[in-house]
Amino acid sequence: MTTPAESTHIDSDQLTEIAIAYYQEGATQEEISKKFGMSRAKVGRLLRRARDEGVVEITVKYHPVFSEKLEQQLVERFGLKRALIALDQPDDESQRQQVASLISSYLSSILTDDMVVTVGQGRNIASIANHVGVVPHRKCRFVCGIGGTHRSGNAINADHICRQLAKKYDGISETLYAPAYVEDITVKEAFMKNGTVKETLDRARRADVALVGVGDMNENSHMVKLGWFTPQEIVEARIRKGVVGDIAGYDFFDSQGNKADTVMSDRVIGLSMEELRHIPTVVVTAAENSKALALLGALRSGIVDVLATSVSNALTILNLDQQMK
């Protein structure tokens, strides 16, 4: 039977008081129902409301051992050299920084003098260069694996990232003197034949390590904001061709990891999926939770040697892979 107190409106202060009693003070729903003069069923509804309205936020803190188990599962499932799994963070930028920290540590353990590292573009790759920490000096050459964009994308340009990495590791950087994007395939072919451009791309193709990001097919993606592709082209590629992502900003692929031919495929100057396949260690990173399906496609392509992402993405990738077999 509903009591008079139960029929009254519960304001945000009282909702907070109930949430504190249950989640912080350890009171049972029975104890709360007696204290506030309402049924246990209503207490349950109010606790759900507290979560829905953001009064209560529940975060699962994963133990490092859990991450290690996930890493091992990914290594075994996709034949990887390593999986670098960062604990979940409250926002994308924090997540990128956490993943970048793991990649920086990994690079410090594998880089040696005179190695060549080819570098992609994007916020995840830029986070590696911007990660603050002590790293060993390595006389490596950091080579752009893709051309450049205009000023609004400068901070995530491969050239800018290469320069930052070279400064960080006390190495040298090499610019790819070409735009990342052109509107006409004949212009792209002309750039690819240019001696300076060809020399840099040839060096990138012979790299020991590749650092590349994965993009998802989002009509609000950075590539759309830069004007490379229209939202409609992204939607059509996703719906008609089954495209789920791109690797290194160059080639597009479906959920099975197969390269997909789209109108976007002949517009980018940089390393292709097949060229990345011949590089001994390809490190692929994406921290954002929206990119799990794109990461699965990349993993299924067989190009990825080292995956770096979040716990949430790792769990989703493993679940999707099981469901989509």
Q: pTM score, two decimals?
A: 0.78
Q: How far apart are CA 104 and CA 37, in angstroms?
A: 56
Task: Give SS3 for 33.
Answer: helix
Mean pLDDT of the chain: 88
Supply 181's token pair.
């994007």
Of the candidates 116, 110, 56, the residue with the CA atom closest to the CA atom of residue 81: 110
Q: How far apart are CA 55 and CA 128, in angstroms?
A: 35
Residue 185 burial (CB count, 10 A): 11
Q: What is the pLDDT of residues 265-287, one digit of tens each?
A: 678 899 999 999 999 999 999 99
* Helix, strand and coil percent figures for the chain, each rounded to 5: 50, 15, 35
pLDDT of residue 238: 78
Q: What is the pLDDT of residues 216-263, one digit of tens each?
A: 877 666 666 666 677 787 777 777 778 888 898 788 899 999 988 776
Task: Give SS3 for 250.
Answer: coil
**Interior angle at CA 303, CA 136 and CA 166, nearest 5:** 25
- Looking from the CA of 95 toward its CB, the CA atoms found within 13 Å total 20
The residues that bridge with 283 in the sheet, in sequence order, are 211, 306
Q: Which of 7-11, 35-39, 144-148 has the lowest mean pLDDT?
A: 7-11
Q: How far apart are CA 249 and CA 254, in angstroms?
A: 15
